[in-house]
Amino acid sequence: MDTPQPPHPLGALTTSELTRYLRQLERAITGIAPGAPIQADLRRKLGEVLAEQYCRASLTASALRANP
């Protein structure tokens, strides 16, 4: 099975592309046995996507607090 790949680096993805990639990773993880070697790679990628989403949310919240 090929692991899902984003069309661009994570930081260059639009919000909808990032969400779509997150969903692809989630589906891939649920479709593979928990002990499969690829699970670690998929979970690492999932963590990277979640970190990017968190970073974007933090930046947005900071901007909203600075410019109410």
- Each domain of the chain, given as residue ranges in start order, spans 10-66
pLDDT in tens, 9-29: 999 999 999 999 999 999 999
Q: What is the pTM of this model?
A: 0.84
36: helix, strand or coil: coil
pLDDT in tens, 28-61: 999 899 889 999 999 999 999 999 999 999 998 9
Give all strands (DSSP E) within 1-68, no chain letters: none
CA angle, corner 56, sides to 32 and 49, nearest 5?
A: 15
Token pair 């649920």 is found at 30
